[in-house]
Each structure stands twice: as structure tokens, then as C-alpha cells.
Amino acid sequence: MSELDEAWAAALAEAERRARYSGRTDIADYLALKNSNDLLRTAGIEWLIASFTAIAAELNRIGSSLEMNQQDGHRFKVGNSTMVGRSLTLKNGVRALVVEAGWPRTPRDGIVRGGGLAYASLRHLGIKSASDELLLSKSTNGTPCWISVVNEHGPKSGVRESDLRRHLAILLDRRHG
């Protein structure tokens, strides 16, 4: 979490405390929900970026030569909305996989379509058909869960480590089934 994110979380907690103190439970409940959702968003994005990084490091230890570059405060467009979050670029020679994950931070940034808490794009540069789009939602047990939304006509399924490995296999130009 960046210093700005920490300051924002502290300001929200203080605003919630003041709202409860003044009897504005409606505002306090809204701020508590926003804080809870922001924690889920942060945890979900951290899992996605950390998982890709760990798998890429594992592949490098066994002979791959993936280059990794991370960026915090990354902004990217999804339709008319702007997501703010993190990016991870994984390069294998001229091939690249760009992982972008975030959510709108201000009203003018727009919304996350599809009712998700956050959005992620897994873009294979030059292989659009291998790219994926993910929505972060809250699972039935309250934990964050990434859902693939590229195939809108098929069943939506939770993203697992095996899905991330498949994306890295594509980047490494390994055949996958």
C-alpha cells in the first residue's frame, strides 16, 4: 500500500469515527463498507500481481529469462472508465504480457462494469485472442475472487494459479492444452 493509500484509509477511518460520534450511522455504515471493499480490492490485486511475479520468478529459476517491471499508481482505460492501481509487465524477448489491475478512485473515473469491485486486464501484446479480462468480486465466504469475463456466453469461473500459469506458458510460447 502506498503512502497516499495509507493516508486515504486513515482519513476514511477518521471520517467514519466522526460520523458515528455525531449519530450519522448512514454515513458511518457507507464509509465502513467502502473501507471493507477497498481492503478486498487491495488484497485481490496484491494476490494477482504477487502470484504472477512468483510464478515468473520460479520459471526464471528453471531457465526462462522473463524480465519483470512493476508500477504502482498505474492508470488504464476500460471503456469510458479509468482504473487506478498496479501494473506488471512481463517480457520474453519481443513478446510481452501486461497485467493491469485497479478500480476507479474518484467519481469522474467512472465505474467498474459488471458489478465488480475491481478490474484486471491480462494483455498479450500481439496475441489479442490470448488476452483476458477479470472482475474482482466477493465470494460467498467474503473473500476476494477474480472471475474471467472474456467469454460472456460461457460459464464464469474463478481464476486459479493454473490460469496464470497458462498465460505465462503463452508468453513463453509453450504449447498448452
| For the chain, domain boundaries | 3-171
Query: Rounded distance, CA 53 to CA 89, Å?
Result: 10
Q: Report pTM.
A: 0.84
Per residue in 124-163, pLDDT (tens digit) is: 998 888 999 999 998 878 788 999 987 554 556 789 999 9
Asked if residue 13 has pLDDT above 80, the reply is no
For cell 465466504, the residue is 141
Asked if residue 66 has pLDDT above 90, the reply is yes
Distance of CA 113 to the CA centre of its chain: 14
